[in-house]
Chain A
Amino acid sequence: MLEVKIDDLANSDLEPILIRAEARVEEAILSNNIETRSPKDDVEISSFPIAVMLVAASANSHLKRRYALAEAKRVSNLLKDESEEKIAAVARNFNWNIKTVKFNVGTLTYNFALSFPHFLRNAATIQDAKWKLINRLMLNGEVYLTKNEASRLLQEEVRRYIEGKLNTEVGTLPQNVMERVERLKRLSNEIRGKLQSEEIPKEVMTDAFPPCIRELRKSALAGRHMSHVGRFTLTSFLINSGMTVENVIECFRPASDFSERMTRYQVEHIAGGRGSRTKYIPPKCDTLRTHGICPGMDETCTRIHHPLTYYKRKLRTIRTAAETPTVPRE
């Protein structure tokens, strides 16, 4: 990092760096990417740690995530034009166990072989069939990657690295800097407000439940034996759809081994009323498929990755169809 002291930031000589830093973050907020750059290399280079500082000072987790992703995308795009050796060197900087290869399979040429734990650590969060381990060529503990794929995977590593940097404590900043931080925070909240369209209403609409939840609920009401994952999925979904703890407990009453005390304990725990005080959300679709909970997809399922997203979407279409006002009933 260049030698810029926090107090120097009040100095007008450094203003160009500060302006460029703010522009980086602003671009990240607005377009989810950073494609512009300052014509002056020294300004461009110094602006990165300053931008990191601005975002860290915002203490806004949404802004942090968005900025880290945009910077990571930028790095990944730059890497795609670099040599294989350079990419491997960057990867090794992050302790990846990677080697360059030349391996043709069908019409594809693989340039890298990466040890599977490093692959998983970065690929498991990417929502795309292409990144599932089972859809990869893996031999002897190594997953084969093209140059573009290696760059894309590094994006995840860089994103986490930057997120880590953004979570460090920032001391008191000069007034002119704090003004910029506040401006960025406002912009971020504005954009976010637009994205977070509708909240889940108070009344529970079972008609809008996804197929998995409908099946699980049917099983529970019929008193059929349910797996742990099944019970957890149903409970956390119902709680998040706004159902009361009492009503969730009622769903499990028909079970032959029903114990009100145990059920209440578990439901309250999932609702965040006990122990760790975290309110749990149901597993995403991919996980439900792994555990055999997914009964098969319907039309809406093909466009979502999470049962709660299904619910929100379906609610919207039901409401639009009924042309009822969208004011939640109190």
Chain B
Amino acid sequence: MNKIETKAFIQEKFAEYYRLNSASIDPPSSLANREFAFLLFKERMMLRHKGVKDAEDLRTLMKTVVPSDVYYSSAHYEKPEEEMEAKGWLGADLVFDIDADHIPTPCGKQHDTWICNNCGATGRGTPPERCPICKMQKFDDKSWLCEICLESAKRETMKLIDVLTRDFGLSPQEMTVAFSGHRGYHVHVEDEVVQTLDQMARKEIVDYMVGIGLEPTFHGLENGLGPNLEDAGWRGRIAKGTYEFLLSTNAEQLEEMGLKKSLVNSLINQRDKVLESWKSRGPWRTKGVGSEGWKKILQKAIENQSVKIDTVVTTDIHRLIRLTNTLHGKTGLKKIRVSASDIERFDPLKNAIAFKEGRISLVVLDAPEFTLGDERYGPYKNVEVELPSAAALFLLCKGAAQVKEEH
């Protein structure tokens, strides 16, 4: 099959899924005030400014339109079907998006590939600054997902839930956590008190999560005094981050940070004493470490403790968000709700599988190794295989395979 037929095949499978499973799709809260948007398979265009009456209306739309992706507005509008300027913004949920794209992961994204637009050179991982062959700076890239990426995203989500709970005082019942169906997680807060926060206020929340603009002097760092491990909020986080950094760092890394040789030796040779100091007043009086030195170390501590959210999503008060229990057009997995208190045990590669029955014959062009359900697949290169539907649709949606012609 060619590309177009493959697309039609995927849409047919999505249609089948929605015919059988539309009852699982629940509309978001304040339905009458939300805008809906459907990304169409064939036209690759977004059908926007749609209103939905009730659950039945939404389910019927899913079955008849069969979009590759469906979104709703995090915002509430007086008239959701009008053009942007006439919608009448009433408020918006507070939304966080954690995506492996924004996290430096231990897998180094070796499963991602890039191709130079100029000379066609290819490589693995995130694209380089300049093409190693022709020195141009234009690339196309293909992203993949692996357990390591997803695990990193999950760790960040857990950090986010922790900050929202301890610092922002939200209970797990006040947040909705979901796996996006691709490389990350979404966290929604629909509480009344956050609805009317403007972009400036949301930006402050983003900075709080990401650790931007933090000045340690406001958290008690001065004149040989500093925060303690049991302190709350960023005070405690600075201490924890510093503790973990000093515990795991080595001379080489410290020198790379631009610290003076004498200071590096002082920190490494006195490591036991430094760690011991946390039991009393902390390491802030360590001989040889001045305010410039602490500044650099604290930068690492903040990096270690910050939550890697997508800064744009949270500050955008008109954002469109994928609807829960619908399919992701890039994977054929579904966006699925996760319990905030039980996220540690959640396995997206098992729980987000939508297509559970049947097998499909494919020609796989190029795909790295991947896991889905309990099985490992690939790597594949120009081979014919017959795979369970979920794995097959995953490859088809990723554009890594085509359906085999039936004769």
Contact = CB atoms under 8 A, between A and B. Distances in A.
In the complex, which range does the number of interface residues on chain A fall in?
Answer: 35 or more
A140 B169 CA distance: 4
B214 A135 contact: yes
Interface of A: 105-106, 115-117, 120-121, 123-125, 129-130, 132-142, 222-225, 227-229, 254-256, 275-276, 286-287, 289-292
A120 B197 CA distance: 8
Contact of B207 (A123, A142, A228, A290): A290
A290 B201 contact: no
Interface string B194-228: 10011011011111101111110011100001000
A289 B212 contact: yes
A130 B138 contact: no
Find the residue from A132, A222, A255, A292 having the highest chain B CB count within 10 A: A132
B315 interface: yes
A238 to B, nearest CB: 20
Contacts of B381: none
B166 A134 contact: no
Given A256-B138, A290-B203, A137 B235 contact: yes
Find the residue from A123, A124, A133 having the highest chain B CB count within 10 A: A133
B166 to A, nearest CB: 7
B117 interface: yes
Contacts of B377: none
Nearest to A144: B233
B255 to A, nearest CB: 21
B225 A106 contact: yes
Given A116-B168, A139-B167, A224-B138, A134 B201 contact: no
Contact of A290 (B136, B198, B206, B220): B206
Interface residues of B, number: 42
Given A130-B218, A290-B206, A117 B197 contact: yes
A124 B200 contact: yes
27 contacts: A116-B169, A117-B194, A120-B204, A121-B198, A124-B198, A129-B215, A129-B218, A132-B213, A133-B204, A134-B214, A135-B214, A137-B232, A139-B232, A139-B233, A140-B167, A141-B168, A223-B137, A223-B138, A225-B138, A229-B312, A256-B139, A275-B85, A286-B213, A290-B315, A291-B311, A291-B315, A292-B311
B38 interface: no
B205 A120 contact: yes
B193 A225 contact: no
A61 B193 CA distance: 30
A301 B242 CA distance: 29
A85 B24 CA distance: 52
A225 B207 contact: no
B215 A135 contact: yes
Contacts of B138: 223-225, 254-256
Contact of B85 (A223, A256, A276): A276
Given A125-B200, A141-B170, A225-B139, 15 more contacts: A105-B220, A116-B169, A120-B205, A123-B204, A132-B213, A133-B204, A133-B205, A134-B207, A136-B218, A223-B136, A223-B137, A224-B137, A254-B138, A290-B207, A291-B315
